[in-house]
Structure 1
Amino acid sequence: MEQSITDNQKNLGAFIHASTFLKYFFPLANFFAPLLLWTLHKEKRFLDHHGREALNFQLSIFIYALGIALLSLPFIAIFATDFISLVETIDRATDNHTMRHISNLGGYIALFAIFGLLLFGLFLFELYYVIMGTISASKGEQFKYPLSIKFITASETEQFENEPQDETFEENNSDSNISEEKISEEEKTQAYNNTSSSVDDIIDDSTTSKNS
């Protein structure tokens, strides 16, 4: 993420998340609104992150809701058949056969109640985390939605830059460079001392030979 995040970027990041609520006024606006904002400002790393998170979460919620709806389709078909049969029976007469149909419908109604609760729980789940994402973006913080499928991922370059071990790698490199500098200085000092001692030995030998 960028070192300095301006207030304008924070506001735009918050609006990217909040714009998904436009779906309650315009169909599919929860996809088009954040997509437009993300496309216009994704060169800013902070806005790129929040734009991808918002879009991935909305796509994930759509997939989950579609899955719940598809699971309920067979039960809807069976319920419709039994309901039509019940109406025809009521038209003829009220007897034990009719009561049996009514008891069968009770099971389907219970199943529909379960599917309804799942969809309502999904709605509350989305509502809560979109609000949390909006608040985090307004504070200039990162935010990751839970259970979000990564349809849109960051580029390999961004992923490499965001890895925490990069700092450790740089620190290790700096430490190794310092160690190499210390070793080279020690080698230079030792070589200088050896040269000085050799020169002293030569001077001593020449002095001794003259005296003799």
Structure 2
Amino acid sequence: METSISKHEKNVSTVIHLSTFSKYFIPFGNFIIPLLIWTSNKDRLSFVDENGKEAINFQISILLYSIALGIIVIPIVLFTAWEFVGFADLLEHNTHEINFNFEHLSGLGVNTLVLIVAGMAGVGLLLMDLFCTIIATLRANDGIVYRYPLSIKFIK
């Protein structure tokens, strides 16, 4: 099958995968640029069609995983911050001493543990995005369609 894939198809597929890094320079560039390249070439080039679907599905999956992580983390951060504000009586305007009230910090250990795990999951998502995109770029350049791990098939 490798002999039937032209150099042009390999180059366009490589650019599709590489263009997902544009999210670091352009908001939603990881969706817009690959989508433009893919839709302009998908009817003519089957290899580009497969790679475009894979790249876009993976970027949508990473976005959804990040949103889910944010939905879990944001309330914990807000409640933890609220508990931490109660830790020190800094809002007493008529006193010149700081009284530390440690009874407000009872749930802080569990929240901190959840935040550490969520932070590690966020870093894991970032690393998975970086490494898988680089691997997919190299494979597309070799004429191989790379199947991203944990990618949900939105576009079939």
Give your verdict on TM over 0.5.
Answer: yes
Q: Which residue of 1 aligns with 2:71?
A: 70
Q: Which residue of 1 aligns with 2:57?
A: 56
CA deviation after TM superposition for structure 1 residue 83, in Å: 2.4
CA deviation after TM superposition for structure 1 residue 61, in Å: 0.5
User: Contact 1:41/1:47 (CA < 8 Å) preserved in 2?
Assistant: yes
User: Contact 1:90/1:98 (CA < 8 Å) preserved in 2?
Assistant: no
Which structure has more helix as a fraction of its residues?
A: 1
User: The residue matched to 1:101 in structure 2 has which SS?
Assistant: helix
TM-score by length of structure 1 reads 0.65
Letter in structure 2 aligned against 1:58:
Q
* Identity, % of aligned positions: 38
Letter in structure 2 aligned against 1:37:
I
CA deviation after TM superposition for structure 1 residue 94, in Å: 4.3
Unaligned runs of 5+ in 1: 154-212
CA deviation after TM superposition for structure 1 residue 86, in Å: 2.5
Q: Which residue of 1 aligns with 2:139?
A: 136
Higher RCO, Cα 8 Å, sep 6+: 2
CA deviation after TM superposition for structure 1 residue 133, in Å: 0.5
Q: Distance in 1 between matches of 2:36 and 2:57?
A: 14
User: Contact 2:38/2:49 (CA < 8 Å) preserved in 1?
Assistant: yes
User: Contact 2:86/2:101 (CA < 8 Å) preserved in 1?
Assistant: no
Letter in structure 2 aligned against 1:75:
I
CA deviation after TM superposition for structure 1 residue 125, in Å: 0.9
Q: Which residue of 2 aligns with 1:180?
A: none
| Cα distance per residue 1:117-152 (max 9 Å; x no partner) | 110011011111111110010001121111111100
- Alignment partner of 2:129 out of 98, 108, 126: 126
Unaligned runs of 5+ in 2: none
User: The residue matched to 2:101 in structure 1 has which SS?
Assistant: helix
Q: Distance in 2 between matches of 1:104 and 1:52?
A: 44
- Alignment partner of 2:116 out of 93, 113, 132: 113
Q: Distance in 2 between matches of 1:67 and 1:99?
A: 32
Letter in structure 1 aligned against 2:142:
K
Q: Which residue of 2 aligns with 1:178?
A: none
Q: Which residue of 2 aligns with 1:82?
A: 83
Q: Distance in 1 between matches of 2:103 and 2:52?
A: 54
Q: Distance in 1 between matches of 2:110 and 2:68?
A: 21
Q: Distance in 2 between matches of 1:115 and 1:35?
A: 30
Q: Distance in 1 between matches of 2:107 and 2:56?
A: 42
User: Contact 2:21/2:30 (CA < 8 Å) preserved in 1?
Assistant: yes
When the two chains are superposed, the root-mean-square deviation of aligned CA atoms in Å is: 2.0
| Cα distance per residue 1:179-208 (max 9 Å; x no partner) | xxxxxxxxxxxxxxxxxxxxxxxxxxxxxx
After superposing the two structures, state which structure 1 stretch, 43-52 or 104-113, moved more. 104-113
After superposing the two structures, state which structure 1 stretch, 103-112 or 61-70, moved more. 103-112
CA deviation after TM superposition for structure 1 residue 74, in Å: 2.6
Letter in structure 1 aligned against 2:155:
I
Q: Distance in 2 between matches of 1:5 and 1:91?
A: 69
